[in-house]
């Protein structure tokens, strides 16, 4: 019996010891996960593909294009700070300086912050200035949030290298990625010891890659950042070099970085290692040519061949710089907080690199063509408004032979947004060809619409046909994931990074305007029941607001207010304070429903969920920040965008028409009582869009397109039916 008892006790002890041994092993396994980020700044994929190491791993990597937008005007330190914050952040060359944790520097740091410095790491002595800079900034970013969240899990970060152009320089923006929110990094070397003095190299110094590699062999930090630096030094010295010598030096640098990455790949091929090759900022030449999206490559643990994507962009091949920190945290099994970025995913793609480069070419050509085409459209609108105003004011003095021309032109003002929507189907890069196709199709559709209207004898028919093409085209595209909108010149630009999915404010305004003209035009001509009109308007709200479709909060509010206004007018309910309060409550209910759907039921959450999350974390301060940012954006846009000129021109034209010719507008409103309700709804929508959108001036201007041109089209001919010019069709 004693023997049996001893055996059982011994067995229990062995099991207990084994159980205890598992715990530290699991912790050790957890801590073994490591992210190594190699920063090769100011390069593109052409540069990276000259490296054998990159070509070797590309078939087992996730590749992407990274938006480098920051708070305010983008500069290199801001790009690095944004990566470390997971929010668009502020920084400059002075407050991004970093220093080794010597006894003297530790004393200065403790005096300034009251915080304990690392024993042998890196510290930012100007961290208080950097915090204040961001507290007063547009996005209230928490600099060093990535490092703080890693440190909270008792894990370490380290940094190596620098981009100094002189031995005594202090250019260390990469520290902003790894440091915690008090400017501390656990380990690293950013001193001149990491450099080689070489008079044959531009600037006379270059990175000692062998020394960095020696460090990395014994570095087990959860996050390690390496700044290669030499490309930045070359770009700094570019104006002192001939084009031949610039190319020669760049080739030499790329070869050295290539060998370094080759060695790093050997380290990463071990278990639980993730390699990120990051370009935080594009070089001047690429920026000048529109290639502002930079390379991002993921290789290593659980990475398969494909293109990168995130919930921030919902676009294959494109991610944001704000997505890097959440991706690192997810890999390390750390929950993110106070970040707006989302973890990066990989979409399996056979020809990942060629697919990505094709995406980049199309994005850049669209971005470069956007300004000249939209400027042409805006100027055309202004000129057309003025001509139409003159035609109305001096109708009795102008021969009827000019009216068919101006009527076709007025129809073309509504047709151009239709053609711009479908232009991406042709996949055109040439600006000249874009203009040719735009003009040809605009003339063709305008003439066909005008011809049908002439045959039917009803001036509303051409307006309905064009509005139908616009409304059905936009709604159908939104339901299919917005493939046309996101590539349209009137869509949104992923290089700017204000929006990546759903419907942007340009087409949101167009959709609301065209839909109201269409629905009320159908009611006018075909006497459609009111409940069908209300059903269509409800559908419009859902399509614009549903987070998986339009995902436009300002558009949801705009469409809801317009719907409520039109419902009151349709059912002849007098508008008073009760109705206004009802409208506000209705907007709150609709937005709340969309918010619940977004936050609780959808995996890929939209801007609305992000805003709600931000408000939850930051409280009333975050809400004020969001509102302030939207107001500031509107003020800034009003002074710089050509859409503000279109908006002002439209308002001035209709201000004149309200008084001259006297009674003409009232006559049209009385004759087309239902369509006039749609026009009034557009005015309400335009005012709402201006107030609730961060680019409200754009949304308001595009919302008025279908009001101004449809009303002027009818106004030009309707008053003349009792004049000496009978046949103007």
Specify the residue for token string 């021969």.
399
248/343 same-domain check: yes
CB 149 within 8 A of CB 94: no
264 and 167, same structural domain? yes
Give, in degrees to the nearest 5, the angle at Cα 15 between 14 and 17.
65
The verdict on 255 and 392 lying in the same domain is no
Residue appearing with tokens 């040809």: 440
Instruction: Report DSSP state, residue 339.
Output: -
Position 601 scores a pLDDT of: 74
* CA–CA distance, 135 with 83 (Å, rounded to integer): 17
- Kindly state whether residue 386 falls inside one of the protein's structural domains: yes
Question: pLDDT category, 641, cuts 50, 70, 90?
Answer: confident
For residue 258, the domain's CATH number is 3.40.720.10
Same domain, 643 and 673: yes
Which residues are bridge partners to 274 per DSSP? 35, 300
- Which of these three, 298, 322, 350, is where a domain ends? 350
State residue 718's pLDDT score.
60
> Is the confidence at residue 25, as pLDDT, over 50?
no
Cα angle 394, 400, 406; round to 5: 75
Question: Hey, what are 159's tokens?
Answer: 């940094």
Q: Choose among 458, 412, 508: nearest CA to 675.
A: 458
Strand, coil or helix: 259: helix
The pLDDT score that the predictor gives to residue 162 is 96
Q: How far apart are CA 421 and CA 426, in angstroms?
A: 11
Domain presence at residue 286: yes
Does 510 lie in the same domain as 451?
Answer: yes
Q: Which residue has the tokens 């705009």?
A: 558
pLDDT of residue 728: 40
Copy the structure tokens of residue 572.
């002849």
Structure tokens at 286: 């690429």
Between 147 and 602, whose confidence is greater? 147
Half-sphere exposure of 304 (CA within 13 A, CB side): 6
Residue with tokens 């503000």: 644
Q: Is it the case that residue 20 has pLDDT exceeding 70?
A: no
| Residue 398 and residue 294 in one domain | no
Strands 122-123 and 99-100: antiparallel
Number of neighbours of residue 26 by Cβ within 10 angstroms = 10
Tokens 């229990």 -> residue: 12
Alpha-carbon span 272 to 687, nearest angstrom: 55
Q: How far apart are CA 321 and CA 41, in angstroms?
A: 13
Q: Are strands 184-185 and 99-100 parallel, antiparallel or unpaired?
A: unpaired
Residues 423 and 335 in one domain: no
The 8-class DSSP code of residue 117 comes to P
User: pLDDT per residue over 315-335, tens digit each?
Assistant: 999 999 999 999 999 999 999
Give, in order, the Cα–Cα distances in Å from 521 to each of 418, 459, 531, 563: 18, 11, 15, 15
Does 711 reside within a domain? yes
Number of domains in the chain: 2
Which pair of structure tokens corresponds to residue 360? 């980049």
Question: What is residue 392's predicted lDDT score, i.e. its pLDDT?
Answer: 87
Give tens-digit pLDDT for 71-122.
Answer: 989 999 999 999 999 999 999 999 999 999 999 999 999 999 999 999 989 9
Range of the domain at 386: 369-722
Cα–chain center distance at 19: 50
Gyration radius (Cα) of the chain, Å = 31
Angle, CA of 653, 654 and 659, to the nearest 5°: 105
Co-location of 273 and 388 in the same domain: no
Tell me the HSE value of 563 on the side-chain side, using a 13 A CA sphere. Answer: 26
Task: Let me know if residue 86 belongs to a domain.
Answer: yes
Give the contacts of 364 (CB within 8 A, at least 6 positions apart): 289, 290, 291, 495
- As a whole number of angstroms, the distance between CA 204 and CA 206 comes to 7
Higher per-residue confidence, 575 vs 445: 445
Q: How many helices (H) and strands (E) does the chain have?
A: 28, 15
Alpha-carbon torsion angle 310, 311, 316, 320, nearest 10 = -50
Distance between CA atoms of residues 499 and 487, nearest Å: 12
The domain boundary residue, chosen from 350, 384, 412: 350
Nearest-angstrom CA–CA distance, 449 and 458: 11
Largest CA distance in the chain: 125
Q: How many CB atoms lie within 10 A of CB 239?
A: 7
- Please check whether residue 356 lies inside any domain of the structure: no
Check: CB of residue 391 under 8 Å from CB of residue 403.
yes
- Is 260 exposed, middle or buried (CB count within 10 Å of its CB: 0-12, 13-18, 19+)? buried
* Helix axis angle, 607-618 to 620-640, nearest 10°: 130
Q: Is the pLDDT of residue 463 over 90?
A: yes
**Do 186 and 156 contact (CB within 8 A), yes or no?**
yes
Q: Is-contact 33 277, C-beta < 8 A? A: no
Residue 241 lies in a domain: yes
Beta bridge partners of 308: 346
Do 469 and 617 sit in the same domain of this protein? yes
19 band by pLDDT with thresholds 50, 70 and 90: very low
**Once rounded to an integer, what is the mean pLDDT over residues 230-238?**
95
| Distance between CA atoms of residues 492 and 363, nearest Å | 10
CA 509 – CA 636 distance, rounded (Å): 19
**Strand, coil or helix: 499:** coil
Q: Are residues 141 and 224 in the same domain?
A: yes
DSSP calls for 34-81: EEEEEE-TT--HHHHTTSHHHHHHGGGEEEEEEE---SSS--HHHHHH
* Residue 725: pLDDT over 50: no
SS in 3 state form for 402-422?
HHHHHHHHHHHHHHHHHHHHH
Average pLDDT, the chain: 90
pLDDT tens per residue across span 266-323: 988 877 999 999 999 999 999 999 999 999 999 999 899 999 999 999 999 999 999 9
The answer to whether residue 262 scores a pLDDT higher than 90 is yes
290 and 145 in a single domain? The answer is: yes
- Chain Cα centroid distance, residue 236: 29
What three-state secondary structure class fits 149?
A: helix
pLDDT in tens, 670-707: 999 999 999 999 999 999 999 888 888 999 999 999 99
- Please state the pTM of the whole predicted model: 0.88
Place of tokens 């590699």: 213
Instruction: Report yes or no on 360 lying in a domain.
Output: no
* Span 590-629, pLDDT tens digits: 989 998 888 887 766 666 666 666 666 666 666 666 667 6
Taking only the tens place, the pLDDT of each residue in 499-522 is 899 999 999 999 999 999 999 999
Domain's final residue, options 316, 350, 384 = 350
What span, in angstroms and rounded, lies between the C-alpha atoms of 610 and 86? 12
How many residues does the structure list for the chain? Answer: 729
Beta-bridged to residue 123, according to DSSP, are: 99, 184
Alpha helices in 350-500 (DSSP H): 352-393, 403-422, 431-456, 460-479
636: confidence class by pLDDT, cuts 50, 70, 90: confident
Q: How far is CA 551 from CA 72, 482, 594, 604, in A?
A: 25, 11, 9, 11
pLDDT category of residue 28 using cuts at 50, 70 and 90: very low
Residue 124: phi and psi, rounded to 5, are: -100, 110
118-136 residue pLDDT tens:
998 999 999 999 999 999 9
Could you report the per-residue pLDDT of 543-591, keeping only the tens digit for each?
999 999 999 999 999 999 999 999 999 999 998 899 889 989 999 999 8
In the chain, % of residues over pLDDT 90? 76
Q: Which of 166, 290, 160, 165 is nearest to 225 (CA)?
A: 160
φ, ψ of residue 695 to 5 degrees: the values are: -120, 55
Mean pLDDT of 463-480: 97
pLDDT in tens, 341-398: 999 999 999 899 999 999 999 999 999 999 999 999 999 999 999 999 998 888 777 7
Structural domain contains residue 9: no
Choice among 115-129, 399-413, 535-549 with the minimum mean pLDDT: 399-413
Is residue 203 domain-shared with residue 321, that is, in the same domain?
Answer: yes
Q: Which of 167-171's residues contact partners 24+ apart within 8 Å by CB, and which partners?
A: 167/192, 167/195, 167/197, 167/205, 168/192, 170/97, 170/98, 170/99, 171/93, 171/96, 171/97, 171/232
């Amino acid at each position: 019996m004693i023997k049996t008892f001893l055996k059982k006790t011994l067995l229990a002890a062995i099991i207990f010891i084994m159980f205890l041994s598992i715990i530290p092993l699991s912790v050790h396994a957890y801590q073994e996960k490591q992210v190594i980020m190699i920063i090769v700044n100011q390069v593109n994929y052409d540069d990276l593909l000259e490296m054998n190491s990159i070509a070797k791993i590309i078939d087992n990597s996730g590749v992407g294009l990274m938006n480098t937008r920051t708070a305010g005007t983008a500069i290199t330190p801001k790009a690095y700070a944004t990566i470390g914050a997971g929010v668009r952040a502020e920084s400059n060359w002075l407050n991004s300086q970093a220093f080794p944790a010597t006894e003297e520097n530790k004393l200065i740091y403790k005096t300034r912050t009251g915080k304990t410095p690392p024993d042998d790491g890196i510290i930012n002595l100007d961290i208080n200035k950097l915090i204040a800079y961001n507290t007063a900034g547009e996005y209230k970013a928490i600099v060093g949030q990535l490092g703080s969240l890693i440190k909270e899990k008792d894990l370490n970060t380290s940094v190596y290298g620098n981009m100094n152009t002189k031995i005594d320089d202090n250019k260390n923006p990469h520290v902003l990625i790894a440091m915690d929110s008090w400017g501390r990094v656990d380990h690293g070397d950013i001193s001149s010891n990491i450099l080689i003095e070489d008079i044959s190299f531009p600037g006379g110094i270059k990175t000692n890659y062998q020394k960095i590699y020696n460090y990395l062999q014994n570095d087990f930090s959860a996050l390690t950042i390496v700044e290669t630096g030499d490309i930045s030094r070359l770009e700094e010295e570019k104006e002192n070099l001939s084009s031949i010598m610039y190319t020669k030096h760049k080739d030499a640098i790329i070869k050295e970085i290539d060998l370094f990455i080759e060695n790093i790949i050997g380290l990463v091929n071990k278990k639980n290692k993730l390699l990120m090759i990051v370009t935080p900022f594009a070089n001047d030449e690429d920026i000048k040519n529109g290639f502002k999206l930079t390379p991002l490559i993921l290789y290593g643990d659980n990475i398969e061949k494909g293109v990168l994507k995130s919930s921030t962009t919902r676009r294959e091949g494109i991610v944001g710089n704000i997505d890097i920190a959440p991706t690192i945290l997810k890999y390390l099994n750390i929950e993110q907080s106070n970040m707006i970025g989302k973890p990066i995913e990989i979409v399996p793609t056979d020809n990942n690199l060629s697919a990505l480069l094709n995406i980049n070419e199309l994005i850049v050509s669209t971005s470069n063509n956007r300004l000249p085409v939209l400027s042409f459209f805006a100027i055309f609108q202004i000129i057309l408004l003025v001509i139409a105003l003159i035609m109305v004011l001096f109708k009795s003095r102008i021969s009827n032979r000019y009216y068919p021309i101006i009527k076709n032109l007025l129809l073309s003002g509504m047709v151009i947004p239709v053609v711009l929507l479908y232009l991406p189907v042709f996949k055109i890069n040439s600006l000249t060809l874009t203009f040719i196709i735009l003009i040809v199709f605009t003339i063709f559709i305008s003439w066909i619409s005008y011809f049908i209207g002439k045959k039917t004898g009803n001036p509303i028919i051409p307006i309905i046909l064009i509005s139908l093409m616009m409304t059905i085209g936009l709604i159908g595209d939104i339901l299919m994931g917005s493939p046309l909108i996101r590539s349209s010149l009137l869509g949104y630009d992923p290089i700017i990074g204000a929006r990546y999915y759903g419907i942007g404010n340009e087409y949101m305004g167009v959709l609301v305007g065209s839909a109201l003209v269409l629905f009320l035009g159908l009611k006018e001509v075909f006497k459609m029941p009111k409940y069908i009109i209300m059903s269509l308007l409800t559908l419009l709200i859902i399509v614009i607001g549903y987070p998986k479709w339009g995902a436009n909060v300002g558009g949801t509010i705009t469409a809801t207010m317009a719907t409520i206004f039109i419902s009151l007018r349709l059912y002849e309910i007098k508008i008073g304070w009760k109705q206004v309060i009802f409208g506000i409550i209705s907007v709150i209910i609709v937005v709340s429903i969309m918010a619940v759907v977004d936050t609780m039921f959808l995996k890929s959450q939209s801007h609305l969920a992000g805003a709600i999350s931000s408000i939850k974390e930051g409280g009333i301060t975050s809400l004020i920040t969001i509102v302030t940012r939207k107001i500031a954006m509107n003020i800034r846009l009003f002074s710089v965008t050509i859409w503000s000129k279109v908006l002002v021109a439209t308002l001035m034209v209709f201000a004149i028409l309200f008084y001259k010719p006297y009674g003409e507008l009232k006559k049209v409103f009385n004759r087309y009582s239902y369509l006039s309700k749609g026009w009034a709804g557009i005015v309400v929508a335009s005012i709402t869009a201006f107030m609730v959108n961060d680019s409200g001036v754009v949304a308001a201007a595009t919302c008025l397109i279908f009001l101004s041109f449809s009303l002027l089209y009818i106004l030009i001919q309707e008053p003349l039916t009792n004049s000496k010019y009978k046949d103007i069709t």
